[in-house]
């Protein structure tokens, strides 16, 4: 499997930040038992990982824009390219010692995501995709699952929580989905949910109120794995709406219909 020079830069940045997160994750497991907990330490781990990714990417392409969750938007002179980075997706998992988190790096060209890397250092799983070249988990080519009936499917979602999201709307989506599928999961790192759909582990995924850095790398992975992605209304304004539905051709359609079903009697 041949990677372009740009994808190699992204992979190196993700592996380097992943190493730093891995070290800090070990410390989080110790801090779990302290009264103060690992909160401040995790914020530092997050910032450190973003600095590593930022420095690696900007060293290779100093003129590109950079959008990172922690540091916000930094404008470059290039005009066509933008890095979109979540240095630690799945912070709540990380904070609680749960090994489901990732570094997520995407490259956007003229408003379209053209390459993506998602790395979970706790499992050593590296997901990569470039437009037109397929999607990979480590060195293995991946494809979305082939199931056609939603009743056979395991799907994941995001669950709103204290101070976040529209609880009532989500409960309606959940109520309709749980009556149609074989299982629902909530893993807590949106980038990895998308990567799991690309790898055929999950048949579908939906979530609202996400940011571009949660989704960007995952979008190209899904498309290159033969899957479909849209916003929750069926359009392509995924970053604008902050919502996403993913699956193969059949499940993407079926899941979109189910989560948008009106409440009976209204
Ligand atoms: C969060 C995770 C989570 C999703 C949240 C995101 P963070 O990102 O992706 O799965 O449900 O909405 O904000 O805060 O851990 O980078
Ligand atoms: Ca995130
Ligand atoms: Ca984050």
**188 Cβ closer than 6 Å to some ligand 1 atom:** yes
* pLDDT score of 263 more than 80: no
Judge whether 69 is annotated as a binding position.
yes
Mean pLDDT of 229-234: 97
- Per CATH, the number for 148-258 is 3.40.190.80
Residue 248 has pLDDT above 90, yes or no: yes
**Neighbour tally for 177: CB within 10 Å:** 20
Sole residue written with tokens 């709540």: 92
Query: Per the annotation, does 40 bind a ligand?
Result: no
Angle separating helix axes 39-60 and 5-31, nearest 10 degrees = 170
Residue to probe by mutation, ligand 1, list 68, 86, 87, 89, most atoms within 8 Å of CB = 89
CA of 101, closest atom in ligand 1: 15
Ligand 3 center from residue 50 Cα (angstroms) = 9
pLDDT, tens digit, for every residue of 92-116? Answer: 999 999 999 999 999 999 999 999 9
152 Cα: distance to centroid of ligand 3 (angstroms): 32
Q: Is the pTM of this model over 0.85?
A: yes
The number of the ligand 1 atom at minimal distance from the alpha carbon of 158 is: 11
| For residue 265, pLDDT beyond 70 | no
Higher pLDDT, 265 or 65: 65
Q: Which of 6-20, 33-47, 95-109, 206-220 has the lowest mean pLDDT?
A: 33-47
Phi then psi for residue 159, to 5 deg, are: -120, 120
Q: Are 207 and 243 in contact (CB under 8 A)?
A: yes
If you search the block for the tokens 């914020």, which residue do you land on? 43
Residue 38 banded pLDDT, cuts 50, 70, 90: confident
80 CB-near residues (< 8 Å, 6+ apart)? 109, 110
Residue 160 CA: which ligand is closest? 1
Please report which confidence band the pLDDT of residue 22 belongs to, taking 50, 70 and 90 as the band edges.
very high
Instruction: Decide whether any atom of ligand 1 lies within 6 Å of the 89 Cβ.
Output: yes
* Ligand number with the minimum distance to the CA of 187: 1
What share of the chain in percent tops pLDDT 90? 91
Scan for tokens 């890095």, then name that residue: 83
Q: Which residues surround ligand 2, an ion (CB under 5 A)?
A: 86, 89, 214
pLDDT tier, 33 (very low <50, low <70, confident <90, very high otherwise) = confident
Q: Which CATH superfamily is domain 3-139 in?
A: Fructose-1,6-Bisphosphatase, subunit A, domain 1 (3.30.540.10)
Domain ranges, ordered by start, for the chain: 3-139, 148-258
What radius of gyration do the chain's Cα atoms show? 18
- Tell me what the mean pLDDT of segment 153-166 comes to: 96
| Average confidence (pLDDT) over 49-74 | 97
Ligand-binding annotation for 214, yes or no, is yes
Best residue among 47, 87, 104, 190 to mutate for probing ligand 1, ranked by most atoms within 8 Å of CB: 190
């Amino acid at each position: 499997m041949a990677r372009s020079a740009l994808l190699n830069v992204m992979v190196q940045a993700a592996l380097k930040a992943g190493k730093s997160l891995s070290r800090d994750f070990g410390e989080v497991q110790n801090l779990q038992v302290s009264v103060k907990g690992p909160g401040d330490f995790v914020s530092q781990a997050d910032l450190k990982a973003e600095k590593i990714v930022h420095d690696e990417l900007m060293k290779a392409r100093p003129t590109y824009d950079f959008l990172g969750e922690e540091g916000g938007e930094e404008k470059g002179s290039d005009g066509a390219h933008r890095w979109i980075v979540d240095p630690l997706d799945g912070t709540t998992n990380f904070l609680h010692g749960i090994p489901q988190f990732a570094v997520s790096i995407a490259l956007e060209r003229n408003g379209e995501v053209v390459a993506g890397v998602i790395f979970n250092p706790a499992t050593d799983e590296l997901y990569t995709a470039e437009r037109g070249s397929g999607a990979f988990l480590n060195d293995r080519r991946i494809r979305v699952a082939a199931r056609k009936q939603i009743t056979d499917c395991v799907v994941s979602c995001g669950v709103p929580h204290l101070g976040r999201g529209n609880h009532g709307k989500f409960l309606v989506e959940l109520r309709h989905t749980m009556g149609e599928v074989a299982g629902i999961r909530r893993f807590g790192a949106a980038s990895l949910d998308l990567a799991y759909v690309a790898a055929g582990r999950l048949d579908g995924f939906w979530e609202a109120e996400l940011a571009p850095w949660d989704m960007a790398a995952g979008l190209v992975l899904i498309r290159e794995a033969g899957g479909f992605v849209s916003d929750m209304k069926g359009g392509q304004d995924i970053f604008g709406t902050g919502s996403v539905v993913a699956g193969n051709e059949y499940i993407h359609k079926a899941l979109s219909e189910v989560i948008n079903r009106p409440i009976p009697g209204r």
